[in-house]
Structure 1
Amino acid sequence: MLKRLRTQFIITNTLYVGIVLMIVFLLICIFTYNRHIDELEEFLTKAASLSIEQSDVRLDADAPGHMLNPTAHIVVVADPETGSMIESFFFGAYLDDEALSACVKSALSSEDQADDLENDMHFALVLNSDGTVSIGIASTRPVRSEMIKLIKLLALIGACAVALGIAVSIPVAKLALLTTENAWEQQKRFIADASHALKTPLTVILANIAILRSGSIKNDEEASHWLASTEEEANGMHDLIRDMLVLTQSDLNVRRTEFTNVNLSGLVFGQTLPFEAVAFDKGITLETDIQENIEIRGNEKALSQMVTAIIDNAFKYEKSGGLVRIRLEKQVRKFVLSIYNASTYISEDEKSLIFDRFRRLKNAETRAQEGNGLGLSIARSVADAHQAVIDVESSQTGGTEFKVSFRHIL
């Protein structure tokens, strides 16, 4: 799929470049041709306006005071009433009487004072004071020859430009589709990880059902054990699907139109309260230092999910008798929410991976904890939607602290 997209990108860019070049080259050709014809008409008009004595001098390329381009041409003095030729003067060009007479008649019958004639000829007509007309006639073949040379040159330039465009489009296509490629790989990995995460509980549930249906259960206590195991796996699947839906909604991005003024102080305090029971049950010391009246622009529901995910992560990996500290404070031009637990250590290599979907720490203690590896992914998605930044500081002796920095904007 990505290869096809890359090919389509290159072809589309090449077509755009080719179309633009064709339009530009067409305009150049039209402008150049019209300019050549205008120059030819100007030359023929001046040639026809001159007297024969002046023409003999002015149209000589080697004569001093040369004014006009020595283009091969013919000047004919004719009677406009009868169409007969009175005099004809040849300057480097020649036509027989029949062809010349046909050109004169066509020029006299034309409504324009300058126009094309048959056989690649062009004329310009000037009315003389004695009632006759002087007609300058010249071939347009030199103009067409110049145009053919120009078209060949432009075609060569166009071919080189298209080839260069293709050469440039190849790395540009790779760069332009890099985000798409990453998103595609993330999607495939997400589907694979989700399938793997759902496969295990489904296998257990099906196995438990098979045992219950086999008739080998001897008493209610044993049946209750298998039912409890099935319920536990089903609840795990429920939590996993719920978190996947939350993450999908976060990926769609919280719309700015849904942002309101949110009391972040009250929100953090409210999300902390349910964990007091968890702290008591696990023997963990919970410390809070929440500065009051801190407000930000955001989506309250999404922010609640983010705060809960990070706090839950801290309690999940904190040892019994340990410490979890939650602090919210105003700093220079930003608000900082920090959630610290004393027991967890995250290596530098893992810091860049813990926000990936279904990613869990590799050490034995953390692998023993329950979870599906989506909590921090949800937190990062919500933070990105609010233009917040999540930093992680961790050491083997000092524990781990997650810091969420919000810009001070209302």
Structure 2
Amino acid sequence: MFKRLRNKFMILNMTIITVVMISAFAAIYMITYSNIQRENQIKLTNIMMSPIMMNSMSKSDEYNNTGRVFVGKIPNDYASTFSVLVGENNTLLNVHSYLDLTEDVYTKATKLATSSNKDSAVISIDGQRWLFQINSMNANLIIKGKSGITQAPVLEQIYFMDVTESYNILSQLLLTFGVISIVMLFVIFGISLFFARRAITPVEIAYEKQKQFIADASHELKTPIAVINANTEALYANKTETIESQQKWLDYITAETDRMGKLVSDLLYLAKTDSEAINSQFAPFNISHVVTDVLLTMEAIVFEKGITLSQNIEPDLIVNGASDKMKQVVIILLDNAVKYVNENGKIEVALKKSRNHVLFSVKNSGSGIPKECLPRLFDRFYRVDASRVHDGGYGLGLSIARAIIENADGKIYCTSVEGESTTFVFELIRKE
């Protein structure tokens, strides 16, 4: 399922980026093509209007019977141009050229230009591209030859300019875009695959956690439901007995019902935390008073178990949050320390300020927590000691503590030295 989702995400990402890239390249190419065409057209128009070209075509060819006129020094702007005069039936009458081309090239150029039915276009001759412009005329060309002087009517004057280099630039640009596109497709594929995996990983983790949560919750509910069902059957089996004589079955049912009620309450709180719906009661409060009050209520339990309790509480430390929820966190951590402290062990409680933070820590002596268990310690239903599954809790206490602390923009963590001690610490932003 997640593999298909990742592939769909990657394909969508590649498609969008590819379309954008091709659109950008196409726009650049079209703009470049349009600019080159316009520049070539302007250059040819300026050449047509220049006195050199206009005057040269008004002279007769007195010295060359081949129809070509050569000017001694070639101006730079006209080095790649030539022009022809065309008479009736598209007959080539005269050529004015600065290029060393064969008569066949001039003839082909004239034929292609006159047969194109366009006033201006680009033609291709032997791999070269020529931009031409046709001007209509109504004049006569005087030709001196061996048979004497003759006049030929001139119907059109056609100017040609070599634009092969411009088209080579466009072809090179197109080739460059093609190579870049192929390279970019591979790069985009790698990037898309990387980000697709990163985007899907949190979803996959959340899905696996949800599956694990459902399995754990079902397992935790199975036991009290089984106990309630067994005690209910015991009541049905002794219908004639009085309620007082069957009080123990009712007590079992009540106890398991209370446990399930606590489980449902804890799960509802965690659900609210996930939806970020419990921030409305936040306000500055004195956390020193909260910790002191909790320690007072725990003294009797600690004394009965023979545990040594030491405390170092700095007075009047103010933090922002919900005081009742923060009290719940302190109770959870202290209760956890009492449960897992070794016999006649020691618990150290500290509350102090550190720059702009308040640090609360609970350290208990004992067997400690294995290093590989620390990353999962705050997961829902997780227990380090599998033998204590039915100790009255559900393994949600530390998850609730983390949810409360993180909801107050703080952080909570645990450090442990196996065989020596375990320390839980949470940090909150201190208010002045």
Most deviating of 244-253 and 143-152: 143-152
**CA separation in 1, counterparts of 2:248 and 2:215?**
31
Partner of 2:291: 268
Q: Cα–Cα, structure 1 residues 183 and 173, in superposed 2: closer, same or farther, change >3 Å?
A: same
Q: Percent of pairs identical after alignment? A: 27
CA contact (8 A) 1:290 1:327 kept: yes
CA contact (8 A) 2:84 2:95 kept: yes
CA contact (8 A) 1:309 1:379 kept: yes
**What is the DSSP-based 3-state SS (H/G/I as helix, E as strand, rest coil) of the residue aligned with 1:352?**
helix
Partner of 1:10: 10
CA contact (8 A) 1:263 1:294 kept: yes
CA contact (8 A) 1:9 1:173 kept: yes
Letter in 2 for 1:30: M
Letter in 2 for 1:405: E
Partner of 1:242: 265
CA contact (8 A) 1:327 1:339 kept: yes
Partner of 1:358: 381
RMSD across aligned positions (CA) = 4.3
**CA separation in 2, counterparts of 1:346 and 1:290?**
26
CA contact (8 A) 2:112 2:123 kept: no
User: In the TM superposition, what whole-angstrom CA distance separates every residue of 1:139-180 from its partner, at most 9, and x where no partner exists?
Assistant: 989967865665455345323422331133223321333222
State whether structure 2 residue 236 is matched by structure 1 residue 213. Answer: yes
**CA separation in 2, counterparts of 1:141 and 1:379?**
77
Most deviating of 400-409 and 145-154: 145-154
**Where in structure 2 are the equivalents of 1:260-409 lying within 5 Å?**
260-279=283-302, 282=305, 284-318=307-341, 322-343=345-366, 345-362=368-385, 364=387, 366-367=388-389, 369-395=391-417, 398-408=420-430
CA contact (8 A) 1:60 1:70 kept: no
Equivalent pairs counted in the alignment come to 389
**What is the DSSP-based 3-state SS (H/G/I as helix, E as strand, rest coil) of the residue aligned with 1:345?**
coil
Partner of 1:203: 226
Letter in 1 for 2:222: K
Q: How far did residue 267 of structure 1 move? A: 2.5
**CA separation in 1, counterparts of 2:75 and 2:327?**
91
CA contact (8 A) 2:348 2:363 kept: yes
The partner residue of 1:188 within 211, 216, 224 is: 211
Q: Normalising to structure 2: TM-score of the pair?
A: 0.73
User: Which residues of structure 1 form unaligned runs of 5+?
Assistant: 79-84, 108-114
Question: Which one has the largest radius of gyration?
Answer: 2
Letter in 2 for 1:351: L
**CA separation in 1, counterparts of 2:24 and 2:115?**
41
**CA separation in 1, counterparts of 2:167 and 2:410?**
67
User: Which residues of structure 2 form unaligned runs of 5+?
Assistant: 60-67, 98-104, 125-129, 138-154
**CA separation in 1, counterparts of 2:74 and 2:83?**
21
Partner of 2:199: 176
Q: Cα–Cα, structure 1 residues 60 and 182, in superposed 2: closer, same or farther, change >3 Å?
A: farther
CA contact (8 A) 1:48 1:126 kept: no
Partner of 1:112: none
The partner residue of 2:77 within 68, 73, 76 is: 68
Q: How far did residue 387 of structure 1 move? A: 3.9
Q: Normalising to structure 1: TM-score of the pair?
A: 0.77
**What is the DSSP-based 3-state SS (H/G/I as helix, E as strand, rest coil) of the residue aligned with 1:68?**
helix
